[in-house]
Structures are given as structure tokens and as C-alpha cells.
Structure 1
Amino acid sequence: MNDSDKHNQRIAKMIFASVYPLYIAKVEKKGRTKEELDQIIEWLTGFNNNRLQELIKENATFETFFDHAALNPNSHLITGLICGYRVEEIENPLTQKVRYLDKLVDELAKGRKMEKILRSS
């Protein structure tokens, strides 16, 4: 197993509930809200607040989290650098989905307008 395989497995086994509070802290520190965060998560995954809370209570891994997601058809429009990688060039599908989410959270924290984050016209 090479380093990237190990990295992909580590991401797959991460518990979403352990990362979610970090997302909240990141966006709130920059003056954005948990509701806005939940809105971008719903746009990407299709999870409403109730379903999101269920997955958090179940301690769903990112693998399980994205297995249950209905990825937004416009998610391919998410491009740019995250953690030193271009999200559109990430080969592992699960890692790419997690990095899509990371990218959206970064955009929210950086003050980007919600229409731009949600790839609306």
C-alpha cells in the first residue's frame, strides 16, 4: 500500500461527527453561521438537517456519509486547491468528495457569496 492509499483509507475511516465541529468553528470564527454551513452540506450531499444529525449521532465515517449522499450534479464545478491538491484532479472518488466539502467550507469561511459557493448563476 502506498502513501496515497493509506491517506485515502484514513480519510474513509474518519468520523464525520469529529470533523463537523471543526467546520463549525472555522466558519463561525470568520463571521459565518452553522446554518450556512448546513446549507452548503445540504447542497453537496442532499442531506437535510434531520438526516445530517442522524449521521452525526451514528458516528458515520466519511465513507458511510458519502455512500448515503446524493451528490449535487453541479459538484464537478468545484475546482481549485485544497490541502495542496487540485480537487478536480483527485483520482480517488471518496477523497475527492471529502475535498469538495473542505473546499466549500473554505469558501464559506473566506466570505465568498453563497450563490457562488452553491454554483448558482
Structure 2
Amino acid sequence: MRLPASLAAVTVAVTLVLSLPYEALPHARVAPGAATGPGEAASPPPFGAACRTRIHGSHVVAHCHNPYVDTDRVRLHVECARWWDLDTDSAPADAGPATTVRITGRCWKEVRAVWVSHQRAG
């Protein structure tokens, strides 16, 4: 007896899924910070604000939004292109839960690089 082509394809797909190791199968999501099994350490809860930086000439603006419960202390770091132009680090700004902070910085001339650092407050 010969199986129809569509039934044969389904049979092969089911066989392949059933032969996958346990770790490769999709499972229900575990709450952040919960232990996933006996002898396993709990994963840390998610942390960190999402930051967008914009450079306009010699001015830099960063907007950081923190969607998590823990406060994120963010700082803007600006590296200037000219050797005589001073690089700057902003004062720390606390991005509390569900808040957005705006941080600014600048160079006298061109900006070479910009980044934001994160630190847990508390």
C-alpha cells in the first residue's frame, strides 16, 4: 500500500519533530527570576533601558526608556573627533520604571563616537 504524497510529508514531519531532543522543543515560558528545574540557578530579571542616540552637528541627544521594574542609572559618553576637543561624560540620570530620560552632550567640532552606559541604581 502506497501513502499519498501529502500524508507521507506529514508523517515525515511528525517523525522529525518527535525525534528532536527535549531542549530543542518549544516550551511554556518561565517567569523571569524563576528556577527552571532542580539544581538550576534562577535567571536574573530583565534589566536595562533601551537608548536611542542622535548626533546633529556637534550636539548629541540620547533618549533612554526603561520598561523594567529596576531603576537604570544611565550616562552619555561623547568622544570628540579632534585631539584638542575634550571628551565628555554626562552626569548619571536615573531612568525609573516606565520612564524616559533625555541626556545631552556636545563637542566643539565633530563627534567621533557616542555610547550610553548602564548601572543598577540602589
Which category describes the TM-score, using the shorter chain as reference length? under 0.3
Whose relative contact order is higher, 1 or 2, with alpha carbons under 8 Å and at least 6 apart? Answer: 1
Return the TM-score normalized by structure 1.
Answer: 0.19
Return the TM-score normalized by structure 2.
Answer: 0.19
Larger % of strand: which? 2
Larger % of helix: which? 1
